[in-house]
Amino acid sequence: PQARVDILGDRVAAVLPTGESVEVLLTGATVLSWKGAASGGVAEERLWLSGAAVLDGSKAVRGGIPVVFPVFGKSPADLATSRLPQHGLARTSRWEFLGRSTSESDASSKATSNGVQLDFGLTWSAADPALKALWPFDFALLYRVTLDPGSLTTSIVVTNNEAEKAFDFQVLLHTYFRVGDITQVHVDGLGGAPYSDKLEAFKTKTQIESKVEFTSGTDRIYQPEGGAAQVLTIVEAGHPKYSISRDNLPDAVVWNPWAKTKDIDDFEPKDGFKNMLCVEPGSVSGWQTLEPGDAFEGAQSISLL
């Protein structure tokens, strides 16, 4: 049996014969839901999505996997990205569904005959008109969402279609993981890593403990020592739950807003921070320069343990 793909208005949904599924909103090509099963287990929701998430394109989605491009956070004032809103223009633009692809020769593709790949595209000309005027570079994004039994891979290719201009960009996959109880959760794989602490004016620190644990608001840009080769693991109550492999995305933002949810209108329920953790693979501590005609590819692959 093959996976089934349905286009339901502004969403694309795929279901595997195993019952595992993924749902992608055309706004931002935001993965809204991933129901995945660990080996021998049942399919359960793996992503956190706010009960007050805005899904009509007027705002970025609070939850799931928003795609951050071409700037992470607010841009420094002296850069070409400076007029863009926080996290750029991709997450609020309406993407095009390019179809289900089956190419197994593609290096970014892990889909076996048991899986399914959904491709989404966004070009500068099709981006949100109000935002694209703020960053006039002829880019193309190809975002591939691959659902396999027990894993979800999302990969992005950024192409510079300008004839003569290079551009600088950052990119990040803002994954909101669903967890049972954040106080029982830690992240492995970041021991020894330098990080920039956004809660202390981007102060540079070093992760001394091997485990990153959560007891209050956390907002850090890690540069793991092994770069993209370092596998990150989310562990809950002593059991490894998610393993995150990265390709060409050397940084990892770790974010939990904790009590600050009271100031985030679309974050519901307010104590929902207990059930989520963002671990966000990206290339955000510096800038990627893309020459005309060149392309950059990065990916995250999440396996259920």
Q: Measured from the CB atom, is 119 or 280 closer to ligand BG6?
A: 280
What DSSP designation does 131 have?
A: H
280 annotated active-site: yes
Shortest distance (Å) from residue 266 CB to ligand BG6? 8
Closest CA to 255 of 205, 201, 218: 218
Spatial neighbors of 24 by CB under 8 A, at least 6 apart, are 11, 12, 13, 30, 31, 32, 97, 118, 120, 145
Closest CA to 91 of 73, 78, 109: 73
Shortest distance (Å) from residue 218 CB to ligand BG6? 9
Among 174, 209, 213, 297, the active-site one is: 174
**How far is it, in rounded angstroms, from Cα 101 to Cα 99?**
6
Q: Measured from the CB atom, is 73 or 99 closer to ligand BG6?
A: 73
Q: Measured from the CB atom, is 73 or 292 closer to ligand BG6?
A: 73
Spatial neighbors of 35 by CB under 8 A, at least 6 apart, are 19, 20, 21, 22, 43, 44, 45, 46
Q: Measured from the CB atom, is 43 or 172 closer to ligand BG6?
A: 172
| Three-state SS at 144 | strand
Among 213, 280, 291, 297, the active-site one is: 280
Instruction: Enumerate binding residues for ligand BG6 (CB under 6 A).
Output: 60, 86-87, 174, 198, 219, 253, 255, 280
Shortest distance (Å) from residue 43 CB to ligand BG6? 27
Taking CB atoms, the residue at the shortest distance from ligand BG6 is: 255
What DSSP designation does 47 have?
A: B
Catalytic residues: 174, 280
